[in-house]
């Protein structure tokens, strides 16, 4: 083991026969084999649904893993032939964008204030936010959230979903921004203050640029939650046209016609891809932010 | 002391201004989290119903008495606990193992690729994970049964396992799905913990002749303890209060193992014709208190160990 590691580090191992190399590096080979097995397990369900979305209809019914004939028309079909699909997709984009935007603004303002403005009662607010993480708020509060929404006339309203959605991750978002702002030296903020900048300008010009990584984490966390929220949407809306795309997908029974399996899979791929692509591009910032915000919090 | 005195003045002068920054967050937090919880507590002491015009009557502990004497309450709590026990070990041990392996990958490029793949399931929104696995477990076109029947020939079309829909396999099936979902995310957590352990410690142990297992047990395990505790407490809490998965995979059959306290509450509040919100609120509060009781015990055990 130790010798294999040494060889691995040197990189200029003397020429070896294949069998000997394998014997020396057995631990390395097994390690990578196990890691890759896990990677395959993670990716396989996604690969399956991607493959399903380009299968021909008879292949989908037969259930063969690899199709005999590919059919790439499903993506066009779901956009042109399923009337409710653009509506549901729009609902998802609208609700998610509003939720992410408002929650992020709230979290930045609150996180900044809690660390650098030190308001009276700040520690109490932090304690309440922390406590809410240990209570199954989302599940238990659904009864009175229904009451609030019906009092406000927001039952079956897509826009109405935004209000409870904002709070789903509000506590954790504020706590993340708080620990990100804690990394910014207080002297830096004081210096801006002495230069005559008010708290708003200090936040905008000094705080925000340094909180970038944390912002990415808050963005992604809130995007993922709002984009895939089920419980509130299914409880607070009745009509399919008021619902978001994932909730419609969860209720769809695979079968024939417009909800034939490959078409369902095509809708799925359309809904799941934006998040994965956005994350892949932002992953560097995301991991940095995770280290600054979550691990410390 | 002098500094405290000088910094007191400006704070008192603009005492309002910091709160301007806090108001948006606190308003949403109070309106949609704090108030609803206290409201549910109040509702649980009344015979409150959405649909009647009569004002709710205070009934004291009646709802709680009925719920605690209801065998279904206890069965449904037990089912939630059962699910937690199926889910928790796998979601801690597998990521721990994977993190230890990935931590030793020396190539930075490969390590980045692994990390990106690991977090892909974590950025798939919850409902889309459930939809994906609903199809994976599907009796007709799902690849799991296809492999069991057509490829391996372990079952025939007639006796192939029925994973979802409230059978005895449903809770393990959901647990497997949840372990898959959390695998990457938890591995990332453990990797962060491993990175914080000074590299000299395992090296020194290795020079002293310790084998891999001894290094893990005496060195790595202690370094990872804080992260492991956080994960256990958090995941214990979330898995005791699962609801979306049960709604999608289980339905409202009272005999289904997915009919846990959360579904019992939801069923009473929104599905059954009579809409007994007062009783539903009592079920929810009992479930929440039981969950927090266990979480408190876990926190107490872990606190004593440091």
- Count Cβ–Cβ pairs < 8 Å, chain A vs chain B: 264
* Burial class for B23, CB neighbours closer than 10 Å (0-12, 13-18, 19+): middle
Mean pLDDT across A210-231: 89
CATH number for the domain that contains residue B296: 1.10.3720.10
* H or E element at residue A128: helix A122-133
The residues with which A260 forms a beta bridge, in sequence order, are A255
* H or E element at residue A123: helix A122-133
Whether pLDDT at A293 is above 50? yes
Q: Judge if A79 and A200 occupy the same domain.
A: yes
Q: Which of B19, B25, B233 to mutate to test the interface with A (most CBs of A within 10 A)?
A: B25
The residues with which A271 forms a beta bridge, in sequence order, are none
How distant, in Å, are the alpha carbons of A110, A139, A149, B220, B269 from that of B40?
Answer: 27, 11, 15, 44, 12
Cβ-contact B185, B119 below 8 angstroms? yes
Q: What is the Cα Rg of chain A in Å?
A: 25
Domain count, chain A: 2
* B81-131: pLDDT as tens digits: 999 999 999 999 999 999 988 988 888 888 888 888 988 888 898 999 998
For residue A58 the two structure tokens come to 């008879």
A247 and B127 within 8 Å at the Cβ level: the answer is: yes
Domain membership of residue B219 as a residue range = 61-304
Domain count, chain B: 1
Name the residue facing A268 among B116, B131, B150 (closest C-beta): B131
The residue that leads in pLDDT, A91 or A68, is A91
- The DSSP result for B174-211, as a single string, is HHHHHHHHHHHHHHHHHHHHHHTS-THHHHHHHHTT--
Q: Judge if A38 and A92 occupy the same domain.
A: no
Per CB-CB distance under 8 Å, the chain A contacts of B164 are: none
Q: Is residue A16 part of a domain?
A: yes
Q: Is residue A65 part of a domain?
A: no
What is the C-alpha separation between A250 and B249, in angstroms, rounded? 10
Name the residue facing A49 among B132, B150, B295 (closest C-beta): B132
Q: Is residue A237 part of a domain?
A: yes
Q: How far away is chain A from the Cα of B193, in angstroms, using its nearest Cα?
A: 9
* B63-74: pLDDT as tens digits: 898 889 999 999
CATH number for the domain that contains residue A94: 1.10.3720.10
Name the residue facing A135 among B118, B281, B292 (closest C-beta): B292
What is the C-alpha separation between A110 and A117, in angstroms, rounded? 10
What is the C-alpha separation between B175 and B171, in angstroms, rounded? 6
A52-66, B128-142, B168-182: which has the minimum mean pLDDT? A52-66
A15-19, A57-61, A67-71: which has the minimum mean pLDDT? A15-19
For residue B36 the two structure tokens come to 């609803």
* Proportion of chain B above pLDDT 70, given as a percent: 92
Cβ-contact A286, A215 below 8 angstroms? no
Mean pLDDT across B20-49: 90
* Angle between helix A212-227 and helix A261-293 axes, rounded to 10 deg: 150
Cβ-contact A163, B32 below 8 angstroms? yes
Residue of B nearest to A272 (CA): B124
Q: Which of A50, A129, A144 to mutate to test the interface with B (most CBs of B within 10 A)?
A: A144
Distinct helix (H) and strand (E) counts, chain A: 18, 0
Per CB-CB distance under 8 Å, the chain B contacts of A287 are: 115, 188
B40 and A141 within 8 Å at the Cβ level: the answer is: yes
What is the C-alpha separation between A214 and B34, in angstroms, rounded? 26
How distant, in Å, are the alpha carbons of A147, B62, B277, B280 from that of B45?
Answer: 16, 7, 10, 11
B120 and A276 within 8 Å at the Cβ level: the answer is: yes
Q: Is residue A62 part of a domain?
A: no
Name the residue facing A42 among B37, B105, B184 (closest C-beta): B184
* B174-228: pLDDT as tens digits: 999 999 999 988 998 888 888 888 877 778 887 887 777 888 887 888 888 888 8
Domain membership of residue A22 as a residue range = 2-52
pLDDT band at B4 (very low <50, low <70, confident <90, very high): very low
What pLDDT was estimated at residue A78?
A: 80
Residue of A nearest to B13 (CA): A119
How distant, in Å, are the alpha carbons of B222, B243, B303 from that of B296?
Answer: 22, 22, 10
Per CB-CB distance under 8 Å, the chain A contacts of B29 are: 128-129, 132, 167, 170-171
Q: Is residue B205 part of a domain?
A: yes
Encode burial over A142-167: b for 16+ CB neighbours within 10 A, e otherwise. bbbbbbbbeeeebeeebebbbbbbbb
Helix, strand, or coil here: B54?
A: coil
A158 alpha-carbon distance from chain centroid: 21
Per CB-CB distance under 8 Å, the chain A contacts of B131 are: 246, 249-250, 268
Q: Is residue A239 part of a domain?
A: yes
Q: Judge if A133 and A195 occupy the same domain.
A: yes
* B8-18: pLDDT as tens digits: 444 444 566 78
- Which of A222, A117, A170 minimizes the C-alpha distance to B34? A170
């Amino acid at each position: 083991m130790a010798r294999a590691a040494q060889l691995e580090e040197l990189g200029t191992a003397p020429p070896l026969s294949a069998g000997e190399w394998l014997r020396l590096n057995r631990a390395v080979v097994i390690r990578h084999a196990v890691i890759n097995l896990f990677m395959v397990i993670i990716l396989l369900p996604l690969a399956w649904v991607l493959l399903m979305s380009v299968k021909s209809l008879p292949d989908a019914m037969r259930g063969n893993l690899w199709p005999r004939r590919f059919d790439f028309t499903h993506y066009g079909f779901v956009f042109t032939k399923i009337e409710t699909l653009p509506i549901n997709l729009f609902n998802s984009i609208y609700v998610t964008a509003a939720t992410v935007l408002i929650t992020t603004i709230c979290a930045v303002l609150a996180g900044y204030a809690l660390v650098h403005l030190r308001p009276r009662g700040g520690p109490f607010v932090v304690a309440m936010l922390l406590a809410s993480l240990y209570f199954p708020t989302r599940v238990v509060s659904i009864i009175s959230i229904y009451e609030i929404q019906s009092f406000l006339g927001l039952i079956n309203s897509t826009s109405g979903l935004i209000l409870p959605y904002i709070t789903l991750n509000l506590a954790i978002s504020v706590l993340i921004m708080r620990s990100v702002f804690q990394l910014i030296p207080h002297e830096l903020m004081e210096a801006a203050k002495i230069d005559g900048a008010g708290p708003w300008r200090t936040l905008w010009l000094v705080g925000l640029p340094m909180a970038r990584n944390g912002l990415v984490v808050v963005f992604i966390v809130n995007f993922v939650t709002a984009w895939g929220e089920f419980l509130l949407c299914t409880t607070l809306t009745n009509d399919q046209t008021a619902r978001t795309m994932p909730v419609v997908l969860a209720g769809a029974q695979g079968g024939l016609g417009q909800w034939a399996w490959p078409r369902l899979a095509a809708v799925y791929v359309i809904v799941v891809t934006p998040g994965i692509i956005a994350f892949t591009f932002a992953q560097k910032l995301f991991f940095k932010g995770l280290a600054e915000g979550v691990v410390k919090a | 002391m002098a500094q405290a005195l000088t910094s007191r003045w400006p704070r008192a002068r603009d005492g309002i201004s910091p709160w301007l920054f806090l108001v948006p967050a606190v308003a949403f937090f109070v309106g949609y989290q704090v108030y609803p919880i206290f409201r549910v507590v109040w509702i649980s002491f009344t015979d409150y119903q959405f649909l009647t015009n009569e004002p709710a009557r205070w009934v004291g502990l009646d709802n709680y008495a009925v719920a605690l004497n209801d065998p279904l309450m206890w069965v449904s709590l037990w089912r939630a606990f059962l699910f937690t026990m199926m889910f928790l070990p796998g979601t801690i041990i597998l990521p721990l193992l994977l993190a230890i392996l990935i931590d030793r990958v020396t190539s930075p490029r490969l390590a980045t690729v692994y990390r990106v793949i690991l977090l892909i399931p974590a950025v798939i929104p919850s409902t889309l994970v459930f939809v994906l696995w609903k199809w994976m477990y599907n009796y007709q076109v799902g690849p799991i049964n296809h492999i069991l029947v057509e490829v391996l020939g372990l079952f025939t079309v007639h006796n192939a396992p029925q994973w979802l829909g409230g059978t005895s396999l449903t809770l393990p099936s959901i647990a497997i799905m949840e372990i898959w979902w959390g695998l990457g995310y938890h591995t990332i957590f453990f990797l962060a913990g491993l990175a914080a352990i000074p590299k000299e410690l395992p090296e020194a142990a290795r020079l002293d002749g310790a084998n891999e297992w001894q290094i893990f047990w005496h060195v790595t395990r202690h370094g990872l303890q804080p992260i492991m505790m956080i994960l256990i407490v958090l995941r214990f809490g979330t898995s005791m209060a699962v609801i979306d998965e049960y709604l999608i995979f289980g339905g409202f059959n009272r005999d289904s193992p997915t009919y846990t306290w959360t579904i019992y509450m939801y069923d009473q509040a929104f599905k059954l014709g009579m809409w007994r919100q007062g009783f539903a609120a009592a079920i929810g509060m009992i479930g929440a208190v039981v969950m927090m009781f266990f979480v408190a015990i876990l926190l107490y055990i872990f606190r004593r160990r440091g």
